[in-house]
């Protein structure tokens, strides 16, 4: 009986930024728990490749290409999908970008890009999907935060600001939408081997520092995010709302 709480059979999950990295791993994981998957990205060719790979595992997959920074485009894509295909029961807002540089020299256009993708994108997609969830009286929203939601590191202050904002936006979503039957939570990865972090993965000095700084002593593997994502997407988290769960090997717990 307890395992049924984590069963996602009959549910449909939209995962933004899911043609690679964490998003793709979560798509594979939620599919394994029974969910039908809606992959999203801006690059239609890359999206098609990810969808084909996922279908070969036996998953039920849809492709929904849109740019999370385009408010009207997001709403049109979500509304059309709901009308033509069916409800989106689970939203995982994963799309994000990174740009590094000293804060005193950080370009304004780079800062704006981070704001639009990492914060506004979560708002645009969350609002578009939640409007339908509210009508049905249920839904799950999982916003991908970061270890930088709680901590800062030299050279990424603007990114840190956006991920802190995502956690607070998540609290706001829960505060406004819990009364409609929605659960809105954050999942905050630590340092994981992803394309977004490839420059750091390839840096022996940084990897050595990370191994010493993280109690687990290593980089995380994207598959290690799946269990928490399934929990937050399933009936198992029916009274969990407005919180952010850190999956970081202990880095935020240790000085």
Quick check: is 191 catalytic?
Answer: no
Task: Give the number of other Cβ atoms within 10 Å of residue 112's Cβ.
Answer: 12
| pLDDT at residue 198, as a whole number | 87
- Classified as helix, coil or strand, 74 is helix
Q: What is the pLDDT of residues 148-160, one digit of tens each?
A: 999 999 999 999 9
Residue position matching structure tokens 């993280």? 214
Mean pLDDT computed over 61-74? 98
Beta-strand pair 182-189/244-247: parallel
Task: Give mean pLDDT, residues 187-209.
Answer: 92
Contact 181, 130 (CB under 8 A): no
CA distance 51 to 132: 25
Task: Please give the sequence-ordered ranges of beta strands (E in DSSP) within 95-249, or none if there are none.
Answer: 139-144, 182-189, 244-247
pLDDT band at 1 (very low <50, low <70, confident <90, very high): low
Helices H / strands E in the chain, number of each: 9, 7
In angstroms, the CA 161 to CA 151 distance is: 10
Tokens of 118: 């990492």
Residue 128 φ/ψ, nearest 5 degrees: -60, -45
Secondary structure (3-state) at 167: helix
Q: Is the dihedral of CA 136, 138, 143, 149 positive or negative?
A: positive
Catalytic option among 66, 159, 177, 231: 159
pLDDT for the residue numbered 196: 76
Please tell us whether the domain made up of 2-248 is placed in CATH 1.20.1250.20.
no
Confidence of residue 44 (pLDDT cuts 50, 70, 90): very high
Is 51 a residue whose pLDDT tops 90?
A: yes
Of 96, 94, 93, the C-alpha closest to 130 is 93
Q: Give the pLDDT mean for 46-70.
A: 96
The encoded tokens of residue 216 equal: 């687990």
The CB-side HSE value for 82 (13 A sphere, CA atoms) comes to: 19
Percent of the chain with pLDDT over 70: 100
Residue 205: per-residue pLDDT: 96
- By DSSP bridging, strand 61-65 and strand 139-144 are unpaired
Tokens 């990174």 belong to which residue? 98
Question: Residues 74-130: pLDDT tens digits?
Answer: 999 999 999 999 999 999 999 999 999 999 999 999 999 999 999 999 999 999 999
């Amino acid at each position: 009986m307890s395992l049924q709480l984590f069963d996602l059979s009959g549910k449909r999950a939209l995962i933004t930024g899911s043609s690679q990295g964490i998003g793709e791993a979560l798509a594979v994981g939620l599919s394994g728990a029974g969910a039908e998957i809606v992959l999203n990205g801006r690059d239609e060719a890359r999206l098609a490749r990810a969808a084909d790979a996922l279908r070969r595992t036996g998953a039920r997959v849809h492709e929904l290409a849109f740019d999370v920074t385009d408010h009207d485009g997001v709403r049109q894509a979500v509304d059309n999908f709901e009308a033509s295909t069916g409800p989106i029961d689970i939203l995982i807002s994963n799309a994000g970008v990174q740009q590094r540089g000293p804060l005193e020299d950080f370009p304004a256009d780079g800062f704006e890009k981070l704001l639009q993708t990492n914060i506004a994108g979560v708002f645009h997609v969350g609002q578009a999907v939640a409007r339908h969830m509210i009508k049905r009286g249920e839904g799950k929203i999982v916003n991908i935060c970061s270890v930088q939601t709680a901590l800062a590191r030299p050279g990424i202050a603007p990114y840190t600001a956006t991920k802190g904002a995502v956690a607070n936006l998540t609290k706001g979503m829960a505060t406004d939408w819990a009364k409609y039957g929605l659960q809105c939570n954050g999942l905050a990865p630590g340092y994981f081997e992803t394309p977004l972090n490839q420059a750091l993965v390839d840096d022996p000095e940084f990897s050595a520092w990370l191994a010493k700084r993280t109690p687990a002593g290593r980089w995380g593997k994207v598959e290690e995010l799946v269990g928490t994502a399934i929990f937050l997407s399933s009936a198992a988290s029916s009274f969990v709302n407005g919180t952010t769960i850190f999956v970081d090997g202990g880095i935020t717990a240790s000085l």
